[in-house]
Amino acid sequence: MRLAALLLLLFTAVGHSAAPSVLTSGTYWDWRSVSSPDITRDGSRVVYVLGWQDKFTDANYSHLWLVSSNGQDRRPLTQGNYRDSAPAWSPDGRRIAFLSNRSGKNQIHVRWVDGSHEAVLTDIDPAPLAFSWSPDGRSIAYLARVPGKPDFSVKLEAAPAGTKWAEPASVVTRLKWRADRTPGQGLVPYGETHLFVIPADGGGSRRVTPEGYSLSGRPDWSPDSRTIVFTAQRVPQGDRELYPDDLYSVTVADGELRRLTTAAGPEGDARISPDGRRVAFLGFVDKGNASHTTHLYVQDLGGAAELRQELARALDRNISSARWRADGRALYGIVEDQGKAHLYEFTLDGGARQLTEGNVRWVTGYAADSGFALSHNGVAVMGHSAPNAPRDLAAVSIAEPGRMTMLTDVNRGVLDSRTLGDVEEIRYKSFDGRIMQGWIIKPPGFDSTKKYPMILDIHGGPHAMYGVEFNWQMQVHAARGFVVLYTNPRGSTGYGEEFGNVIHGKYPGDDYQDLMAGVDALIAKGYVDPARLFITGGSGGGILAAWIVTQTDRFRAAVSQYPVINWITQGGSSDIPLVTHRWMKSTPWENPQQYLSRSPLSFADKVKTPTMLLTGEEDWRTPIAQTEEFYVALKTRGVDTAMIRFPKEPHGVRGAFPSHWVAKVEYILGWFEHHGAQAVK
């Protein structure tokens, strides 16, 4: 009896001591995400996507779940090792259409909510893209790629029967010839993306749009199910334009096409009003800037394009996810401001009113969007995140926006037994007097009398925004004993169009001084060891991390993730060459010095800081050749450096395999720990 009790006590003690009390990189395998909510017209039920990682197959999967809008009756709708996404309720609330690979390739499925039936509507290759139900519930409109041929080709001998020849050469004749985030398929197949309509009860589909157009985004139906509005560019003219997208409408019955917008700049996310007379959309007029504020517009569906009306004209902040109120007298959307994002009401007379409050980021997140849905009776379902609250879904009544009902709590099991680092906002002056905003994450068990190593984490974009949402990776860094600083330097969104464009033609540049001013402001608090400063960032943050080590040796080590190192070669190898030309205000053959003066490679002889470079091998946004150029430059000079290459990963090293995401965190922390980030002094 005594021996058994002793063994039980020993087992319990070991199990308890082994259980982590903080987040670790390994907790990513247990982490869950929620996104893409949709709500029935009557506001009673919500469908959403629950994402998860399988450690045994090293793959990402997702299922559909149902929950009542009061937070009760939560249950799975689909299961299995599949990727289900983009759920949409039928108008009568009896069926849900969604995309899934459960039939062997990604297709549109329809599932009866009572569990009696499920049907695969499409069987096409390439896979269908965005889709939407017709208001009468009889049809589904979707986008799909129609294969085409390059402008030039030759007739080649076919492989003889029974032989196996090598994969043939690819012919490229377009400017926009590849796109990031397509692991295993860098090349964009030739052709045009068109609009199709298929019966919701099954049957053959019909193409609605003519040749010469290529569509994007989500198609939106008129209330009478006769007209569809969509975003498209003319082919091939749009290939050489930075913002070629306009809105068009098409009559489903006869294919009559009409152009709705003509202004320079993009238009998208169109939503037809409940009475079918007007269309609301998001966009901006291109001023030649690097950064533009996205505005909300309304115009008559049958009126002249130049008569469009801009709502909330004085609101110099990005608006997203606009949805009509059921009576058509107002719209609701999300506005990002100084690290937060809240629900706003926009009236047709130009008024704007913030509905939600608090230190919260609704719907949007850094490089993420969890989705927004609105019922006919005014229940909004949105993603919700705060500094110590990972993203979950909540229901908000438009009539009482101060009250919300949490619909999910998907990571409670991971967090219940773990202590998070406290998050604190910081404001400080930069070199020119501008006030900068940032946040500090302190290690769990923080003691202000001790000295901690610090990680400066720089966001990408650069026209993006860090905010108050929960950040798993930074919490893992803090749990390893680092104070983490992340800020929004000039060029960030959320502070107005002028703030975003200060760096136009000067990136990287003064944003470096904004970041260093933040480091100094944090050191002044007294608990950061100035001899143990570390720096990292990805994409736009990767170039800034690389730039900073060419300007100062204050950091003990650096990790530059998927950076731009040489703007000249970046402009010719990235999937967004026209963006590079816009940011530099020229092409490299017109003004090579402009490109060289902003390239870290030009100043590689100044680097003394041990610098790791980390990139996916199928990154087409900041191709791995950028990483290789800096690696060779530093290695040639004898700088302590390492290059981490992730196979089959696109930009961000987060698309293909969960194990790579876990490894990325460990490589970053391991490099810093290898270079002197010892225990707290």
Characterize the bridge pairing of strands 611-616 and 372-374: unpaired
**Residue 9: pLDDT over 50:** no
Whether residue 213 contacts residue 194, with contact meaning beta carbons closer than 8 Å, is answered with yes
The 10s digit of each residue's pLDDT in 108-139 is 999 999 877 899 999 998 889 999 999 999 99
Backbone angles phi, psi at 205, to 5 degrees: -95, 160
**Residue 183: pLDDT over 60:** no
The closest alpha carbon to 261, from 301, 317, 319, belongs to 301
Mean pLDDT computed over 193-217: 93
Distances (CA, A) of 315 to 349, 350, 363: 14, 10, 19
Residues 6+ apart with CB under 8 A from 88: 38, 96, 97, 98, 131, 132, 133
Q: Which amino acid is present at 176?
A: K
Long-range Cβ contact pairs of 99-103 (< 8 A, separation 24 or more): 99/127, 99/128, 99/131, 102/78
Please state, as a whole number, how many other Cβ atoms lie within 10 Å of the Cβ of residue 173: 13
Distances (CA, A) of 346 to 268, 284, 328, 429: 18, 17, 11, 34
20 band by pLDDT with thresholds 50, 70 and 90: low
Mean pLDDT computed over 355-383: 93
Domain coordinates in residue numbering, the chain: 420-674
Q: What percent of the chain has pLDDT over 90?
A: 84
Gap between the Cα atoms of 228 and 213, Å rounded:
15
User: For residue 681, what pLDDT is reported?
Assistant: 52
Max CA separation in the chain (angstroms)? 89
Please state, as a whole number, how many other Cβ atoms lie within 10 Å of the Cβ of residue 424: 12
Instruction: Tell me the sheet residues that pair with 247.
Output: 231
Task: Considering only CA atoms, give the Rg of the chain.
Answer: 26
Least confident of 25-34, 274-283, 360-369, 552-561: 360-369
User: For residue 596, what pLDDT is reported?
Assistant: 97
The closest alpha carbon to 554, from 518, 605, 519, belongs to 519
Reduce the DSSP state of residue 545 to 3 states and report it: helix
Superfamily of segment(s) 420-674: Alpha/Beta hydrolase fold, catalytic domain (3.40.50.1820)
The 10s digit of each residue's pLDDT in 640-649 is 999 999 999 9
**Residue 430: pLDDT over 60:** yes
Least confident of 59-63, 234-238, 446-450, 542-546: 234-238
Q: Which amino acid is present at 205?
A: S
User: For residue 3, what pLDDT is reported?
Assistant: 37
User: For residue 8, what pLDDT is reported?
Assistant: 37
Burial status of residue 289 (CB atoms within 10 A of its CB: 0-12, 13-18, 19 or more)? middle
Least confident of 400-409, 480-489, 561-570: 400-409
User: For residue 182, what pLDDT is reported?
Assistant: 61
Interior angle at CA 439, CA 435 and CA 442, nearest 5: 145
**Residue 467: pLDDT over 70:** yes
Gap between the Cα atoms of 452 and 444, Å rounded:
12
Q: Which amino acid is present at 363?
A: V
Residue given tokens 């400063």 in the structure block: 533
**Residue 54: pLDDT over 90:** yes
User: For residue 655, what pLDDT is reported?
Assistant: 73
Gap between the Cα atoms of 275 and 290, Å rounded:
37
The 10s digit of each residue's pLDDT in 471-529 is 999 999 999 999 999 999 999 999 999 999 999 999 999 999 999 999 999 999 999 99
Gap between the Cα atoms of 610 and 533, Å rounded:
12
**Residue 2: pLDDT over 80:** no
The 10s digit of each residue's pLDDT in 66-111 is 999 999 999 999 999 999 999 999 999 999 999 999 988 999 999 9
**Residue 176: pLDDT over 70:** yes
The 10s digit of each residue's pLDDT in 652-668 is 998 789 999 999 999 99
The rounded mean pLDDT for the chain is 92
Chain center to CA of 238: 24
Burial status of residue 101 (CB atoms within 10 A of its CB: 0-12, 13-18, 19 or more)? middle
* CA atoms within 13 Å, Cβ hemisphere of 231: 20
User: For residue 148, what pLDDT is reported?
Assistant: 87
Q: What are the residue ranges of helices labelled H in 370-509?
A: 412-415, 472-479, 497-501
Gap between the Cα atoms of 216 and 232, Å rounded:
6
Whether residue 92 contacts residue 402, with contact meaning beta carbons closer than 8 Å, is answered with no
Chain center to CA of 63: 20
234 band by pLDDT with thresholds 50, 70 and 90: confident
* CA atoms within 13 Å, Cβ hemisphere of 268: 15
The 10s digit of each residue's pLDDT in 434-445 is 999 999 999 999
**Residue 399: pLDDT over 50:** yes
Q: What are the residue ranges of helices labelled H in 444-509?
A: 472-479, 497-501
Reduce the DSSP state of residue 224 to 3 states and report it: coil
Instruction: Tell me the sheet residues that pair with 437.
Output: 427, 488
User: For residue 572, what pLDDT is reported?
Assistant: 92
Number of residues that this document lists for the chain: 681
302 band by pLDDT with thresholds 50, 70 and 90: confident
403 band by pLDDT with thresholds 50, 70 and 90: confident
Instruction: Tell me the sheet residues that pair with 301.
Output: none
Gap between the Cα atoms of 209 and 260, Å rounded:
15
